[in-house]
Amino acid sequence: MNKLPLIKPFIKTNIFDECFIESITDNSKDVLKNSLFVARQGEGLHGKVFIKEAEKKGASCIISDQEIEEEIDIPIYCIKNLENIITELLFRFYELSEDDFIFHGVTGTNGKTTTAFMAHNIMRELQKPSVYIGTLGAIINDDLIKTKGNTTPGIFELFEILQACKLQQKTYVFLEISSHALVQKRLCNLPFLQTIILNIQSDHLDYHKTETDYINAKLSITNLNNKNPTIISIDQIQDLLPSLSEAQKEQLSNSQFLSAKNPSAPLKYSYVYNPDGPSTINLNFPSLTLDASVSLFLKFNIENYISAIALISEHIDSNDLNNTQRALIKMPEGRGEILKLKEGKILIDYAHDQQSMKNILSELKNYYDDIILVFGCGGDRDRSKRPKMMKVAQDFSSKIFFTSDNNRYESFSVIAADAINESDQAGVEIIEDRQRAITAALKHLNKKNILVILGKGHETSMEISGIKVPFNDRDCVLKILGNEIN
């Protein structure tokens, strides 16, 4: 089918009249025969650099936000306000309606995946069409499909996912929104009904360079095309408040607070945590009140669950939630995942920065005197957090196995040296091979302690020197122990 008539209202010229358009992309690598190539600013280069490649691969025409003087044999049309109309253009191209989707965005240093995944699964339990998009890939209703790998896809990939939905009903969409995506304005002016900031800690300084820039990136979610003010879990950023600029405080003032401490917050909650059984929660939101019991092993996942409900509170009531299985809340694989083995308990989590590690280990320290820890630090990423991660590990763990975690193109010995820095190496064993490290750690596991494996969570490969080698922490444990789960 020729898609030209669908986008003709955006093309104020006749030069495309002889073109046949079957697909659309802003990535020259994805150009096919009869593609419309959209030459726009990328993270580094502008797409106009790739117009020859697009033509060679079969593009039938090009639109751009810049005048292109280079001569090629396919028509080019310049749209000065291209970034402002891309979302509308894509809705038209894929014959989708903005009214058919209810977009929700989740950002935060930690908890994005769990919160978005929980919100998605609550809607699925209520038998409503829902899509999760984030670190795990894309889940359309209950079917997982692979994405290109970014936590937050670009706007063109996002619309490919939406086009694949074919759900025929108004559909809820839950998007993890990374700080990179916010800085790069990957989602253009996609219309969000509700967004939320879970927390802001230091991370990704290899990209953002300064903590101020990172904070600005996270707060910029308030500037998206939001119908409702962004929800901010204000208790989780209390330590930041004194250092915020006036502009940053203004962004906060235009938001709505979720709080267990501030009685004036519109979204109030409280809970009593029980690590050995159901915890009780109380929610007092403008459109929802609830007293309930929930079964979640880690305390901060109670808060993620409350954040998920806050995000969707406009669509549900207490009767809806009373019909969900709170005793069996579905968690993402590799997020606070507990394996109950004959040898003892193992916790697997994606935590890969000092704060998320501290969240888990400090909580476990309340119940276990002896914590065995396996973790590593990613290569070609923020080097400054490596010694901080090791300090947290040493503060809470009795035995540490430091190992590989996506070394990428960096030497493991350099990564390990950064992590150890000048710290005391007592109780730390360095084993580059992650399977060997896990094997060694399992020898220390017993009924009284707990083994914690951090950093990779759900991931199914390890990146070493540009090669992705199949590896999953959970599968590794089960292989070593012969699948002996209680």
State pLDDT tens for residues 119-134.
Answer: 999 999 999 999 999 9
For the chain, residues classed under CATH 3.90.190.20 are 337-481
Residue 142 tokens, joined? 């209950």
Q: Are strands 279-285 and 371-375 parallel, antiparallel or unpaired?
A: unpaired
State the helix-helix crossing angle for 434-442 and 473-481, rounded to 10 degrees: 50
For the chain, residues classed under CATH 3.40.1390.10 are 4-83
Q: What is the C-alpha separation between 335 and 350, in angstroms, rounded?
A: 6
**How confident is residue 202, by pLDDT bands cut at 50, 70 and 90?**
low
Secondary structure (3-state) at 94: coil
User: Residue 204 pLDDT more than 80?
Assistant: no
53-67, 179-193, 204-218: the lowest-pLDDT one: 204-218
Radius of gyration of the chain (CA): 24
Secondary structure (3-state) at 476: helix
Give the fold, CATH level 3, of 98-328.
UDP-N-acetylmuramoyl-L-alanine:D-glutamate ligase (3.40.1190)
Q: Are strands 23-25 and 76-78 parallel, antiparallel or unpaired?
A: unpaired
The segment with the largest mean pLDDT, out of 64-68, 209-213, 480-484, is: 64-68
Whether 24 contacts 35, CB under 8 Å = yes
In the predicted model, what is the mean pLDDT of residues 150-177? 93
Please state, as a whole number, how many other Cβ atoms lie within 10 Å of the Cβ of residue 391. 16
Tens digit of each residue's pLDDT (9 = 90 or more) over 19-38: 999 999 999 999 999 999 99
**pLDDT score of 209:** 65
**How confident is residue 207, by pLDDT bands cut at 50, 70 and 90?**
low
The angle at the Cα of 474, spanning 473 to 480, to the nearest 5 degrees, equals 90
For the chain, residues classed under CATH 3.40.1190.10 are 98-328
90: enclosing H helix or E strand: helix 82-93
**How confident is residue 331, by pLDDT bands cut at 50, 70 and 90?**
confident
In the predicted model, what is the mean pLDDT of residues 242-257? 91
Please state, as a whole number, how many other Cβ atoms lie within 10 Å of the Cβ of residue 349. 25
Tens digit of each residue's pLDDT (9 = 90 or more) over 90-102: 999 999 999 999 9
Q: What is the C-alpha separation between 338 and 349, in angstroms, rounded?
A: 9
Q: What is the C-alpha separation between 469 and 463, in angstroms, rounded?
A: 6
**pLDDT score of 486:** 43
In the predicted model, what is the mean pLDDT of residues 10-14? 91
User: Residue 484 pLDDT more than 60?
Assistant: no
End-to-end CA distance of the chain: 55
**pLDDT score of 243:** 87
Tens digit of each residue's pLDDT (9 = 90 or more) over 273-291: 987 788 999 999 999 999 9
User: Residue 373 pLDDT more than 90?
Assistant: yes
Query: What are the angstrom distances between the C-alpha of 364 and each of 275, 309, 368?
Result: 9, 25, 6
Whether 36 contacts 5, CB under 8 Å = no
**pLDDT score of 276:** 76
In the predicted model, what is the mean pLDDT of residues 173-186? 94
Provide the whole-model pTM. Answer: 0.88
Q: Which listed CATH number (3.40.1390.10, 1.25.40.10, 3.90.1150.10, 3.60.20.10) goes with 4-83? A: 3.40.1390.10
**Positive or negative: CA dihedral 471, 474, 476, 482:** negative
pLDDT more than 90, % of the chain = 75
**pLDDT score of 388:** 94
**How confident is residue 203, by pLDDT bands cut at 50, 70 and 90?**
low
Per-residue exposure over 457-466, b if at least 16 CB sit within 10 Å of its own CB, e if not: bbbeebbbee
Tell me if the domain spanning 337-481 has CATH number 3.30.1300.10. Answer: no
Tens digit of each residue's pLDDT (9 = 90 or more) over 420-453: 987 778 899 999 999 999 999 999 999 999 999 9
